[in-house]
Amino acid sequence: MLLQLDEIQVIYFDLDNTLVDHSGAEKRALQDVLREYPDEFPKSSFKEFAGKYKLINDRMWRELAAGEMTAEELKTHRFIELMGLSPTTDAPDSAFEIGEWYLERYAKHWRLFDGVEEALAAAAEITTTGLISNGFRLQVHGKIKRFAWESTFDHVVISEEVGIMKPHRGIFDHARQLAGVAKPRHILYVGDHYESDILGASKAGWKTVWLNHFGVYKPDSAADVEVGSMTELAELFESYQRE
């Protein structure tokens, strides 16, 4: 391993698409929405529907990060726009219902990636652990409860609670202070999103492990270590314990 793990005082993990298969749950929940509310949306294939949702949702999350939208607005407005309507002029009464129903279905489809429990257990044998998420507060706490992680993480940092989103350095500094770590280089962060997780943590002075699910090529990657799966990460942590 290229990292000196004996110097690491806390290992923080990203949540969505690192521990929990967010993209898979999102896809299945959108399929449920289209089946349940077929008349609310312009006729299209699921591929077109999901593609349009992603464009709208990604933009609105950027607006949320910039303080241009609230979390509650995002939950509803993304479906209003998906209907081909304007959130400010002709929002239908069904939009709130659909937004809430989507989140319920999304929760039904939560699944862990292979190797997650092993990686968390191995990390806990090395040092203390924590969680940092840009997700909705209720969703994050719901996932912690669903997977019985109430005692797994020593520190939990949620952007909606602290008012700062990754990749802003402020959320990483907050997490470092929460863990009582003086030097940023003594923190390791594991995440899947290159910009929000790896660049954000690296610029804050942290060590990083990039969970690169799809083998994206980054010739000048800022990550200290790159793995293709949580199973591979678990094996790395376990090999450190045997050294």
pLDDT digits (tens, 9 = 90+) for 36-45: 999 999 888 9
CATH architecture of 5-21+112-242: 3-Layer(aba) Sandwich (3.40)
Indicate if the pLDDT at residue 242 is higher than 60: no
The angle at the Cα of 28, spanning 164 to 135, to the nearest 5 degrees, equals 10
The CA-to-CA distance between both ends of the chain, in Å, stands at 11
Amino acid at 213: H
Q: Which two tokens stand for residue 18?
A: 């690192």
Q: Is the pLDDT of residue 241 over 90?
A: no
At 191, is the pLDDT very low, low, confident or very high (cuts 50, 70, 90)?
very high
CA atoms within 13 A on the CB side of 154: 15
Taking a C-beta distance cutoff of 8 angstroms, is the pair 155, 10 a contact? yes
CA distances to 27, 40, 75, 147, 158 from 100, in Å: 16, 15, 8, 22, 20
Output the pLDDT for position 243: 55
Residue 89 DSSP symbol? T
Average per-residue pLDDT for the chain: 94
Helix-helix angle 94-108:22-36, to 10 degrees? 140
* Residues 5 and 47: beta-carbon distance below 8 Å: no
For 73-86, write each residue's pLDDT tens digit: 999 999 999 998 88
Structure tokens at 8: 């690491």
* Secondary structure (3-state) at 11: strand
Q: Is the pLDDT of residue 189 over 90?
A: yes
Mean pLDDT lowest for which of 82-96, 183-197, 226-240? 82-96
User: 184 or 241: whose pLDDT is higher?
Assistant: 184
Spans of all domains in the chain: 5-21+112-242, 23-108
Residue 12 forms beta bridges with which residues?
A: 130, 189
Q: What CATH class is the domain 23-108?
A: mainly alpha
pLDDT category at 144 given cuts 50, 70, 90 is very high
Please give the pLDDT value at position 13.
99
pTM above 0.85, yes or no: yes
Please state the rounded mean pLDDT for residues 44-52: 94
Beta strands in the chain (DSSP E): 10-14, 128-133, 155-158, 187-191, 207-211, 225-227
Cα(75)–Cα(95) distance, integer angstroms: 9
